[in-house]
Amino acid sequence: MRETVPLPVPLLLLACLSFPGCSDEHDGMAGAGLPVIEAPETVRFGTSNPMVTFDPHLADTGPQFSSYLTLVYDGLTALNLESPFEPHPALATSWAWRDEKTIDLTLRRGVHFIDGERFDAHAAKANIDRLMALKGPRINTVASMYAADVLDEYALRLHLHHPDPTLLYNLGLSPGLMVSPAAFDNPDLDLNPVGTGPWLYDRARSTLGEILHFVPNPDYWDPGFRDAPAVDVHELLNNRARLNALISGQIDLAIVGPTEAAPARDLGFAVTSRANRWFGMTILDRAGELTPGMGDPRVRQALGFAVDRQAIADAVYFGYARPTSQPMAPGNLGHDPELESFFSYDPARARALLDEAGLDTFTFTVPVVAGSVPEYEAVQAYLRRVGIDMRIKVIETGSIAAIARSRDYPVNTIGYPNFDPDARHPAIWSVTAGFNPFGYEDPRIERLATEAFQSLDEQLRARNYREYFNVIVKDVLTLVYLQIDDLVIYDADKLTGVRVGRYIDPMLREIRLKRGTNALAATRVDPAAAAASPAACAEPPAFSSGSIQTC
Amino acid sequence: MLKLLAARIVGLAPLLLIVSFLTFLMLHLVPGDIRDIILGVDATPEQYEELGEKLGLDDPFVVQYGRWLFKAVQGDLGTSAYNSQTVVDAVLDTLPVTLSLTFGGMLVGIVIGVPAGVYAGLHRGGPVDRAAVLGATIGQALPNFWVAIILVIPFALWWQLLPATGFTPPTESVTEWLRSIALAAVALGTSASAALARQTRGAVIDVLGTDYIRTARAKGLSERTVTFRHALKNAAVPIVTTIGFQVNGLLGGALIVEQVFGLNGFGSLAIDAVRTQNIPIMQGVVMMGTLVIVAVNIAVDIAYGYVNPRMRPA
């Protein structure tokens, strides 16, 4: 007779698995796939953005992907969060404008790619030549540059079509990241990076779509990274899964939305944020061809006065957003403090503007991705109170850009970055912009932007862009309701130096383990080098300039 | 048995052809454009056009499908539209996760559902039977992703007994593999056990009312022998059929539950491929999913032959 297994036995086995004591291994794996205890020297980051390519010249650094690249590559410059257009030195230690269309870079000596190749002006020129030949997603951000000349082994000259005050900033993003020229023809360069960065990608231990392992590069040129921890990047697409992983100790920091940040804060985790994007609507049908009422600035202004921004910031974003009326965030080029509250919450005025325009009711449709429906439903409710019927059409996430390029809707709802007017003008408001499908032209903003973009005079640029955004706001070419935060939650007992970057991700290069949680890493420091850099970095090092910064 | 396998394999080719064509067609009907995702929001119209030419997106649909099919019949399912990862690698990286969840869920379903159904069927009308019917009704009504969310809260977040996310391959550690799929398997197995309990109960009740069971009892066989040797063996065919259906259903359910547990399985791969318009990956996911379902159906057919020799192919 066959033996049968009593029903409770499998259940008991399942219960047993819940207790590490039942485990056949006691290797410190408190969770399942994610190491928890045995690797205290590792920073474990939960991201929503899957790695797409390690080839920086074919990568789109905005709004995602950049964090992977900055671990394994160095740029000619490095992002300065506080002042993006004054980048930090990196592989270029200094630069000088020879004239308005020529810039000379002095390159760092003693740097080698991980394949042993030397970094010098020839390597830098080869990278720039490759960048321009490949014409990747970000080529338009360095389109002013047409050639690079080697002046000597560590001096490079860049030739521009026109003055470009944003070039150095963009050379700190993917276009300026340096790949070993010997690896240009590697068929798997997109999966196997060959840079000079402070971390090495451990491809053998990594699984795309699940976890990417990065280990410190022992030969990295900047001693400020000697205490760099290993970094594991966990690709967890679901916001709630990332929060759960943090709570259960499987990761140390995560990108989340406001819905997850609020409970994380209540549970004692630290929340850091940066207002990187705006929430609102960009008016595509600015002449009212598709929706006649939209051609009247008074109607568009009514859309602004009808909405209680603070209420939406509190109720939908849990406070991780701030009311505003302008696209550019405070401290950024083009921001005008006087525009901040241009649209107050004034439904009576909104109604009066509609009456002035001769409209009893006004109906239009907005395309909204599923994840943004709640905030647009809140706007919808406010608009309804003044007689505006805003209909929401839910669209696929991947189709939002294509729809914005079409003439199917009078507005688009893309939340653009809020700090880089030089990049926004040609994408959104210019007569030739991809997201200006009706070809609307405003000579004022064309002139102001062209002058600003081609000038190295910061005062002129500030003045022009301030005037530019006065037009954008008052004529309501884009209607902005809120500046919204990108959010990172983290275990503050373990990590220090966590800051949100300009593109959703945290500044991974800066994150360090707090003293006492990084014992293994501390033992790796070479005594001689430690003598040269006696204080271990409690805070992350800023990018070193010509002289190496020690902590 | 070999004839059965041969017939299924011969029938597989046209099936895969039809599925691949319909999948390719549907993916082309999905709104959106891969160029927007690759190039980002700041791309110029010129970049847009150049990338379209490079990817062959401007070619007629039939040409694009023909190009894919020509390579596929040679065993080349292509590479991701975004990097050089092969579709086969992407599928093989994720398949073990989803299969672990599917068969883990099925195991939970069988372990709970079949004994519960048998007991309820043998004690029809009793309190256990009523409780089993009520439990099965509730179990079938609960969406598995909701059960997953509920299970995570006490077991992973409060008590931290089991992991909230992540997957450990069995090749690394069998125990950790079981721990990594335990909650997801229970979440998936809840509805499967409910369905199995109902089917098993019904099958047992049907069989117990047949003439040969009455004859067996009349011959004086013990109730244990009647139950295990005659009743359950004959009730097994509809149970096996239900298991086959449930495996296919669990495969679909696993795609959703993976999201709750942050698992890099077929579901995550498929969702990301759809979100990013990564047609080669999506084609690979559907092709592999089809193969898995066909394999399950063949396994069910083979199982029929074992539980009931009269159903073996001649």
Q: State pLDDT tens for residues A235-294.
A: 998 899 999 999 999 999 999 999 999 999 999 999 999 988 899 999 999 999 999 999
Chain B: give the shortest CA distance to residue A35, in Å: 10
Residue B303 has pLDDT above 80, yes or no: yes
Q: Tell me whether B211 touches chain A (CB under 8 Å).
A: no
Q: How much is the CA Rg of chain A, to the nearest whole Å? A: 26
Residue A430: the pLDDT is 92
Residue A29: the pLDDT is 36
Q: CA angle at residue B267 from A62 to A12, to 5 degrees?
A: 125
Chain A: give the shortest CA distance to residue B109, in Å: 11
Inter-chain residue contact A398 with B37, CB threshold 8 Å: yes
Whole-prediction pTM: 0.82
Residue A516: the pLDDT is 58
Cis peptide bond upstream of A347, omega within 30: no
Supply the ipTM of this predicted assembly: 0.81
Residue B166 has pLDDT above 60, yes or no: yes
Q: Are A76 and A140 in contact (CB under 8 A)?
A: no
Residue A231 has pLDDT above 60, yes or no: yes
Residue A11: strand, helix, or coil: helix
Return d(Cα A193, Cα B286) in angstroms, integer.
31
- For residue B175, list chain A residues with Cβ-Cβ distance below 8 A: 17, 22-25
Q: Are B239 and B246 in contact (CB under 8 A)?
A: no
Return d(Cα A166, Cα A173) in angstroms, integer.
11
First-residue to last-residue Cα distance in chain B:
8
Residue B18 has pLDDT above 70, yes or no: yes
Inter-chain residue contact A34 with B163, CB threshold 8 Å: yes
> Where does chain B have alpha helices with state H?
2-29, 34-39, 45-55, 61-72, 87-122, 127-141, 144-152, 174-208, 211-218, 223-225, 232-260, 266-275, 279-307
Other CB atoms within 10 Å distance of the CB of residue B95: 18
Return d(Cα B95, Cα B87) in angstroms, integer.
12
Which two structure tokens, joined as six digits, stand for B38? Answer: 């690759």
Q: CA angle at residue B276 from A419 to A411, to 5 degrees?
A: 50
Per-chain mean pLDDT for chain A: 84
Confidence label for B313 from pLDDT (cuts 50, 70 and 90): low
Residue A52: the pLDDT is 84
Q: Are B1 and B305 in contact (CB under 8 A)?
A: yes
> Would you tell me which residues 60-119 of chain B have a C-beta closer than 8 angstroms to some C-beta of chain A?
82-85, 90, 93-94, 111-112, 115-116
Residue A433: the pLDDT is 86
Residue B130: the pLDDT is 93
Return d(Cα A1, Cα A3) in angstroms, integer.
6
| Least confidently predicted of A83-87, A186-190, A202-206, A428-432 | A83-87
Higher pLDDT, A74 or B275: A74
Which two structure tokens, joined as six digits, stand for A113? Answer: 């790619």
Q: Tell me, what amino acid is at A272?
A: T
CB pairs under 8 A between A and B: 207
The residue of chain B with its CA nearest to that of A22 is B175
The residue of chain A with its CA nearest to that of B44 is A434
Tell me which residue has tokens 């199995």.
B196
Question: What share of chain A has pLDDT > 90, as a percent?
Answer: 63
Which two structure tokens, joined as six digits, stand for B77? Answer: 């399912």
H or E segment to which residue A485 belongs: strand A478-490
Residue A2: the pLDDT is 35
| Least confidently predicted of A24-28, A240-244, B119-123, B253-257 | A24-28
Chain B: give the shortest CA distance to residue A212, in Å: 12
Strand partners, A417: A277
Residue A546 has pLDDT above 60, yes or no: no
Question: What share of chain B has pLDDT > 70, as a percent?
Answer: 97
Inter-chain residue contact B94 with A209, CB threshold 8 Å: yes
Q: What mean pLDDT is predicted for residues A222-230?
A: 91
Q: What mean pLDDT is predicted for residues A463-478?
A: 96
Q: Are B255 and B265 in contact (CB under 8 A)?
A: yes
Residue B278 has pLDDT above 60, yes or no: yes
Q: Are A276 and A485 in contact (CB under 8 A)?
A: yes
Residue A35: the pLDDT is 36
Strand partners, A45: A233, A253
Q: Are A174 and A66 in contact (CB under 8 A)?
A: yes
Residue A161 has pLDDT above 50, yes or no: yes
Residue B42: the pLDDT is 65
Which two structure tokens, joined as six digits, stand for B94? Answer: 């994720």
Strand partners, A506: A500
Helices B87-122 and B266-275, axial angle in degrees (round to 10)? 130
For A534, phi and psi rounded to 5 degrees? -60, -35
Residue A26: the pLDDT is 35
Residue A521 has pLDDT above 90, yes or no: no
Return d(Cα A61, Cα A54) in angstroms, integer.
11
Q: Are B273 and B263 in contact (CB under 8 A)?
A: no
Residue B46 has pLDDT above 80, yes or no: no
Residue A13 has pLDDT above 80, yes or no: no
Q: Are A241 and B164 in contact (CB under 8 A)?
A: yes
Residue A354: the pLDDT is 96
Inter-chain residue contact A34 with B175, CB threshold 8 Å: no
Strand partners, B86: B79
| Closest listed residue to residue A267, CA positions, set A243, A251, A238 | A243
Q: Tell me whether B275 touches chain A (CB under 8 Å).
A: yes
Which two structure tokens, joined as six digits, stand for B223? Answer: 């109730």
Residue A398 has pLDDT above 90, yes or no: no
Q: Are B245 and B233 in contact (CB under 8 A)?
A: no
Q: Tell me whether B44 touches chain A (CB under 8 Å).
A: yes
Residue A66: the pLDDT is 66
Which two structure tokens, joined as six digits, stand for A421? Answer: 């007017």
| Closest listed residue to residue A506, CA positions, set A485, A478, A520 | A485
Residue B229: the pLDDT is 82
Residue A107 has pLDDT above 70, yes or no: yes
- For residue B151, list chain A residues with Cβ-Cβ distance below 8 A: none
CA B267 to the chain's CA centroid: 11
Residue A517: the pLDDT is 52
**Chosen from B35, B38, B41 to mutate, greatest number of chain A CBs within 10 A:** B41
- For residue B272, list chain A residues with Cβ-Cβ distance below 8 A: 50, 209, 237
For A58, A489, B48, B107, the CA distances from A64, given in Å and listed in that order, are 13, 18, 19, 40
Return d(Cα A243, Cα B149) in angstroms, integer.
12
Which two structure tokens, joined as six digits, stand for A201? Answer: 């990608």
- Written as one string, the DSSP assignment of A175-231 is GGB---GGGTT-TTTTTS-----SEEE-GGG-BTTTEEEEEE-TT-S-GGGTTPPEE
Strand partners, B221: none
Q: What mean pLDDT is predicted for residues A203-207?
A: 91
Q: Are A407 and A437 in contact (CB under 8 A)?
A: yes
Q: Tell me whether B175 touches chain A (CB under 8 Å).
A: yes
| Closest listed residue to residue B251, CA positions, set B202, B192, B209, B210 | B192
